Structure formats: structure tokens, C-alpha cells
Structure 1
Amino acid sequence: MTVTADRSASADPRPDPAGPSSADVIVIGGGTGGYSTALRAAALGLDVLLAERDLIGGTCLHRGCIPSKAMLHAAELVDGIAEARERWGVKAAVDSVDWPALTATRDDIVSRNHKGVEGHLAHAGVRVLHASARLTGARTVAVGPRTYTARRGIVLATGSRPRLLPGLTPNGNTVVTSDDALFAPGLPESVLVLGGGAIGVEYASFHRSMGARVILVEAADRLLPLEDADVSRHLLRGLKRRGIEVLTGALLTDARVTADGEGVRATVRTARGESLVLDVARLLVAVGREPVTDGLGLADAGLGTDARGYVAPADWARLETAVPGVHVVGDLLPPPSPGLAHASFAEGLLVAETLAGRAPRPVDYAAVPRVTYSAPQTASVGLTERQARESGADVVVNAMPLTAVAKGMVHGQGGVVKVVAQRSGPVLGVHLVGPNVSEMIAESQLVVGWEADPADVAQYVHPHPTLSEAVGEVFLTLAGRGLHQNA
């Protein structure tokens, strides 16, 4: 895999031989959780050392969030041209996709973000060592040939990698993971996406927009199995409308690169027990991610992992492990941490402020938004309807299709707003499916996080005509003041 990015700061992998051998805080890993910890700790006056063996920014910046959303934006433009032609009478067509030009724009966005983060760290006075690091004790870290001592604490932020299937080896071309799918050569004519979580759905959506035949296979009985069932249902409807073939309750039983090396022959057992043989140009494995702890030296600091490989904190309020002064952020954390970049930012802030002697509020994981950037998009915060009912709450639910408001009709892509609340009590969850809902969920984060009642939201006016108007309408109805929606 090749990522075009500025590596000038990473050219010399040796630790800084002239610098001091101690720091207030030592952070191992320079992804979103690690660098946010370092920046906040430095802003609070702490001396910070950050060790990163690859590129600052981690998976999110270089292989995940940023490059994938750049590509998904390009996909939106392609979809918009199709909508203009088919729905609005604008006689336009996509002649071709200039793959090198598209990827050059993506890489420029990544590179500028990378330089920006490195610049922030330098300005904050964070010492960055570009080398592998491992624990040698509860307060000591070996980086290259030197050992450094942490006066206040160590932060583990080594992230995650794609989970692989036994016997299926990625080759960067015909068999790829979410880490290298965007960097594989060219656009395939057909793709089998294995995994119907957020990552798999996003990649399925992108490849379909770019003209590929897409088969999406998920072992669970629905897509996005951790989301509300109605989110899964509306998402499935939207993906099928776009021509994506979706197989839920299905398992990959065999996959082999063809003799000519140009594709993959896969066998899938469907929910009905049928055996399907699928010939595709590319197999994309998106069955989840696993924590990276190999070589970290956990045992030397008196630490271990749980059965799933996570480093669980003994104190979630401080994200501190059973070894005092050793904290953990990001993808190393087990649930309820969702393994999302924006959650790791919050975790980094929390740990930095804790190490600085402050008493920050714990991360409210129930109020962390979850977004899938497919077409249609999904965005949720809080409890699903099932979770709310299983909690014993007296639940009331209201849902409204986006096409019930004028702006939803303009977009013409379907979708829904669903609110789960406690009867005569606070809102417990908000779930959205449709165009641009990733930009609409922040309001609902505050609603859930501040434990607002539907009536608290209903008193505020949502702009007309917008998609967010549907959110306001759902709360109006729950508050007994329904306008365009019958109670």
C-alpha cells in the first residue's frame, strides 16, 4: 500500500539522542487518541514525549476516516450527476473517472491534514520520536536504544488494525482490507464486500457509485447490527434502490484468487442454506478491527489484555489501568468505547486533564454520535428502541419519513427520523437515515447528552425548508403539539 503524504518529519526514525531522558507524560501512538492527549497535555503545561513508529495521525488520517470520506465525496458528485440526468432533466453524464486525478486530490487532503497535525505538535512543544516504543516498567518506555521515564504517566494509544479471516491473506489488489482498499490499483468492475458494519457499508456505497457491481455480505440478520432495527431497514432499502446486492445472514465459506490472478471466486452460504458461487474482481474484507498490542511490552508493566485483546481500564472515569499512572485511549479500549476517532479525541482530552491534576468529567459514551457515510447516510446517538425497552424504561417512540417534509421531497432519497424517549421523561435516542444526516446529528447529541425532554426541544424552531425540520416535527408530536404529523 502506498499513501502519498509528507514524510519529511519521519525521515529519521532514530529517537532524539540529545534530548532529556524523561518527560511528564509519554504517549505511545500518534493517532487521534495519542496526538489529542499530547496536544492537550502540552497546552496544560506538561512536558510531553510522543512516540509513533509510522505516520502521525494514524489509521484515521492516512488509511481510514479522512481518505475514505474524501473518496465518498467524489462518489456523491458522481451520484449527483446521475440524479441530475435521471430526475431533473439536466442532460449530463460521467464520461469517465480519472483515477490518478481523484487519488491525487485525496492524497493532497491527507497530506495537508498530516502537515497540520505535525505543525500543531511542534508549536505545542511536544517532542515527537519516530520509532517503535515498548513498556519496560510502570513508568519507563524504551524508544529505540534509549529508555525514557514518565514522571506523571504513560498513555497507551497504539490503535487497531483490520481483523482478518483465517486462510484469507490480503494482497493489496484482488483481496483487500479497509486499510488498503482505497489504495488498490484502479476501480474494479465488481466487488464482494464482506461485512455489513459501517466500514463495509461505506465501501460498498463508494464502489457502487463508481459503477461497480457490488455484493454486500453480512453474517448477522441485518446491516449495521449495532444500530436501531429501523435504521437497518431504511438503509437496506436505500442500498437496494441503488442496485447493491445485499445478503444478510450469509457466510463466506470459501474464497480463492483465480488462476490468472485477476479476480476472486467466492462461495457464500445464504440465510436459506443455498450455496452461491460469485466471481468478482475484488474481495474487500471489512469484518471489524482488533487492537494492536504486539510488541508493546504490557507484561513488563504488569498489564495484560482481556479475551478480545483490549486493554481494559480499571477506572473508566480516568481511563486508568490497574497499574497506576498508565492510561489507555482509542481503539485499545473495549466497549463502551465505540472505537471512533471523535470518541478518542474526547478520551485524549480526559486523560491529559487527569494527568495535569484536573478532575474532568468522564466521557459520556451514550452521547457519542455514530455515523455511516454511505448513500444514504445513517447517524445515531443514544439508545436504540430495543436497548431502551430492555433497560426497563417506559418507552415512547415516534418516527417520520424525511419525504414528509418539503426538503426531503427535493432530495428524493427517502430516509427517516426516529426518536426514542422515556414517557414523561428524557430523550433516550435519536436515529437518522437519509442524505446529509451526518451534519444533522450534533443537535441530537446535545439533546441526549443534556437529557432533554421532547418538550424542551419542541419549543425551539427548526428552519423551513430543511431536512432538520423533520427532527423538529418529531419532537413537536412527542410533546403533544404535532403540526404536520398526526399524533
Structure 2
Amino acid sequence: MSETSFDVIIIGGGPGGYVAAIRSAQLGLKTAIVEEKHLGGICLNWGCIPTKALLRSSEIYHYMQNAKDYGLTADKVGYDTEAIVKRSRAVAAQLNKGVGHLMKKNKVTVIDGRGRLDGPGKVAVKKDGKDAGTYKAKHVILATGARPRALPGLEPDGDKVWTYFEAMVPKEMPKSLLVIGSGAIGIEFASFYHTMGVEVTVVEILDQILPVEDAEIAAHARKRFEKQGIEIMTGAKVEKLDKTKSGVTATVNDGKESRKIAVDKVISAVGVTGNIEDIGLETTKVKTDRGIIVADGYGKTAEPGVYAIGDVAGPPMLAHKAEHEGVICVEAIAGLKPHAMDKLKIPGCTYCQPQIASVGLTEAQAKEKGHEVRVGRFPFIGNGKAIALGEPEGLVKTVFDKKTGQLLGAHMVGAEVTELIQGYVVAMNLETTEEELMHTVFPHPTLSEMMHEAVLDAYGRVIHM
């Protein structure tokens, strides 16, 4: 390669990295991105996108099994595990090619290999263990992502104990499954496999499933999961896993007694940890804390000219957070003075059945921060579109500051709430008050009408309840 010097080099081609590269190129900065495996990163290739393809297959399978509820007939309903996985991988492959096209379109130099800092302003690249060049840049952005966390004694082996990598490409459906951890990843896989007919048990060490969600929403979701047949154990710890010829026997302690659970497979979904190893941090002043790189709201680290975005820069570890951080970071580098990242305005979505979505403070968090709150709720059963869809179970909840009318948070559980939440995200970014939301006209019949009603309910003006 003739070019060895750039304005910006980004290490890592995931959502944060490739979006930062595109924005950097748009701003006229000479840009390169270093990626050792797949453009699009974990999200596109092994996370967000292929899991949604799997969940879509399970959703359609569910509707086919329940066709009679809609006045339809579907005989001999079944599925082909290999075909489901093949479709999921094809979706990921298609988008991977799309990212490559975007790099070419925006004239971003793609460097194939593993990049690491070699002091400030220098990136050394290796390909297949061999030196593949050293590149200079005024600014280096670290977007190296994260990997599944492993608990001592419960380490995944890729065979009987899976991470999300193996869980996405099963050769055949297990008859029984234990999911350790009830965050978004754990619950999505629990929902997928249960819908496909697998006997699923979820173990969560905390007292609430979906620990980052509002307690009322999490409780509603738990009832729905248990009604479907998923067994959930909270306040429980998996003490050990004994592998057998036929599967795994887990010893689970709920604080009162130990119980043995025999399953075919185990999914470890106990979180992720940042990829901070072997990226040359020791050659700089960059600081780390509990497995992530310390960075400010613009991605700046303790080393001038070195930045960190996405999962490696800490929670919430979400693709859309990484993308926005990438844009903020590059625009700050270019001198555009963007707003710093406000993590309270980052929506979170879990694509299980039922879906869960939220933004801002939970009711408990708002009270802990000293807010007097007004809380509004509206159930799906009061919405005509939800009933027509055959989805009458769900809840929309809003949390307002009683004194100012500021929308502090919004939380939902039910059909398509991952698409609805953005309305509240926009409202919060615009610093909308309850009065403006109440005077907004929502189309009928839509699920979005429940968003309006939940606001009205917080102020004693609800109509359809």
C-alpha cells in the first residue's frame, strides 16, 4: 500500500468503527479502518442482525402453530433447523457485503489485519501473525468491541456449554436448555428456543429478570414468559456444571437449597467484557477500569489523539450507542462541536416475545435521584389495534417529573414496542413536556395511541381506560 499516513485510523470495523469511518470520510478526513475478521463486527455478523433473523423465524412458526386464532388453517407445521440457520447467516452475509460497499463508496481505506497501538499516532498491523505494515495517524479511534464474559467454573466449551456464537448456529434443536443470565441476550435466546419447542430454564442471580428494566415491566414480562412455559429462577446461582455423555447437569442454589437440573445444552449469557488486551494500550497513557477503556462523552481518552467508542468504552453495550459515539467522536475531531453523548437518552430493546423497550430513568431510579414523579400506564387490552392483531397483553409506562413535566423515562412490554420506543426518544431529545405530548395527534388505529394514553394517564386525563 502506498498510503501509510492518515488523518484518522479506526481499529475495529463493527457498528461504531465503520460508522465513524463513514462520517470521518464525509468530513473530508483521510480515513482508514483496520479489521481482522468481518466488517460489521459482532453485531452484524454474530449479534443483533442474525439473532433477529432467528427470532423472525420463531415468530412466524408461532403464528403458524396458532393459525386457528386468526381463522386460518395450517397443517403439518414444522421447521428445518439447518434452513433457519442458513437464512440467518445469509442475512448477515448480505449486510457484511453492504458495509464493504459503503467503505468503497466513501473512499475509506480498509486494512485487513489486526491493529494495535504502537505508541501515540502509530498503528501496527499483523495479518495471520505476520507484520502487515505500520501506519501513522493524527487521531486513532479504538472500536475493538467486546466478547462474552466467562464465569470461573462455568466456562463455555463450544459443545455443551455455549456462548451466543454457538447458540446462533445449532446443528439441531436441543430438547432442553439452561440459560445463565436474564439480560437481553439470555432472554432473546430463551424466547427463540422455547418457541421452537425446547424446554427452557432461565437462572438469574439477581432478584429481577431483565435487571436494567423498570421493575413493573420486568414483572409483566416474567409472567408472560412463565405463562408460555419458560421456567425462571431468580435470586439463584449456578454453582457448577457437570458434563455428561448426554448433556450437562447444573447445580443451582437459590439461597435456600441446591437443585440439580439436567439439560442437553447450556447458554452462558452473563454479559460481555471489552477487548482491551493486545491493542497496545501499554504504549500510551490510556486508562482502563474494570475491563473497559475510560473515555469522556466525546470518546477522548487520557492519551491525546487516542479515542475509544462502542462496547470497549463501556455500557450500555449497544450497537446504536456505538454508532452515535462514533459520529460524535469524529465530529469533535473535525471541530464541529457536537453534543456529548447523553446515555440517558439511549433506548434499549429486547426482541423476545413479548418485546421490551425502554429509554431514560425507571420509576425507581427517578425517585432515587430525588424527583417527585407522575407515572402513567396504559394496557394493550385497551387498544383496538392490539386487539385486532391478537396481541392484547402488554403495557406502556411513562415517568414524568411532577414539578416540570419533563419526561424522565418510558418503558414498554408487548408487541412491536421496539419500533414504538423511538417516539419517546425523540420527545426526550427535544425536551418535550407532558403538555406537548398530550397535544400531539396520534393516528388511529395504531399501537402508538397507547403512548398518548400513557401520557394522559399520568395527568388524570386517560380516555380509553
> What is the match of residue 252 of structure 1?
238
CA deviation vs aligned residue, 1:223-248 (integer Å, no higher than 9, x gap):
11111001111110111111100111
Q: Superposition RMSD on alpha carbons, in Å?
A: 1.4
Matched, 1:194 2:173: no
Contact 2:399 2:408 in 1 (8 A): yes
Unaligned runs of 5+ in 2: none
The aligned amino acid for 1:200 is G
CA deviation vs aligned residue, 1:289-342 (integer Å, no higher than 9, x gap):
000111101010222311x111011x32x210011111110001124xx11000
> What is the match of residue 220 of structure 2?
234
CA deviation vs aligned residue, 1:175-214 (integer Å, no higher than 9, x gap):
1011221123211111100001111000000000100000
1:418 is aligned, of 380, 397, 400, to 397
> What is the match of residue 53 of structure 2?
70
> What is the match of residue 148 of structure 1?
135
Matched, 1:270 2:254: yes
Contact 1:63 1:180 in 2 (8 A): no
Contact 2:64 2:77 in 1 (8 A): no
Q: Cα distance, 1:147 vs. partner? A: 1.6
> What is the match of residue 395 of structure 1?
373
Taking a change above 3 Å as real, the CA distance of residues 280 and 413 of structure 1, as seen in their structure-2 partners, is farther
> Identity rate of aligned residues, in percent?
40
Matches within 5 A, 1:62-461: 62-85=45-68, 87-93=69-75, 95-144=77-126, 145=131, 146-151=133-138, 153-258=139-244, 260=245, 262-271=246-255, 273-306=256-289, 308-313=290-295, 315-316=296-297, 318-335=298-315, 338-410=316-388, 411-424=390-403, 425-461=405-441
Taking a change above 3 Å as real, the CA distance of residues 98 and 232 of structure 1, as seen in their structure-2 partners, is same
Q: Cα distance, 1:407 vs. partner? A: 2.3
The aligned amino acid for 1:268 is V
Which secondary structure does the structure 2 equivalent of 1:179 belong to? helix
Q: Distance in 2 between matches of 1:93 and 1:435?
A: 26
Give the 4+ runs in structure 1 shifted more than 6 A: none
Contact 1:37 1:349 in 2 (8 A): yes
1:28 is aligned, of 11, 22, 42, to 11
Contact 2:376 2:456 in 1 (8 A): no
Which secondary structure does the structure 2 equivalent of 1:121 belong to? helix
The aligned amino acid for 1:91 is T
Q: Cα distance, 1:91 vs. partner? A: 3.2
The aligned amino acid for 1:376 is P
Q: Distance in 2 between matches of 1:384 and 1:394?
A: 13
Which secondary structure does the structure 2 equivalent of 1:254 belong to? strand
Q: Cα distance, 1:481 vs. partner? A: 3.3
Q: Cα distance, 1:413 vs. partner? A: 4.7
Unaligned runs of 5+ in 1: 1-17
Q: Distance in 2 between matches of 1:321 and 1:42?
A: 22
> What is the match of residue 2 of structure 2?
19
The aligned amino acid for 1:180 is E
The aligned amino acid for 2:253 is R
Contact 2:62 2:195 in 1 (8 A): yes
Which secondary structure does the structure 2 equivalent of 1:71 belong to? helix
Contact 1:161 1:289 in 2 (8 A): yes
Q: Cα distance, 1:397 vs. partner? A: 0.6
Q: TM-score, normalised to structure 2's length?
A: 0.96
Q: Cα distance, 1:68 vs. partner? A: 0.3
- The number of equivalent residue pairs is 458
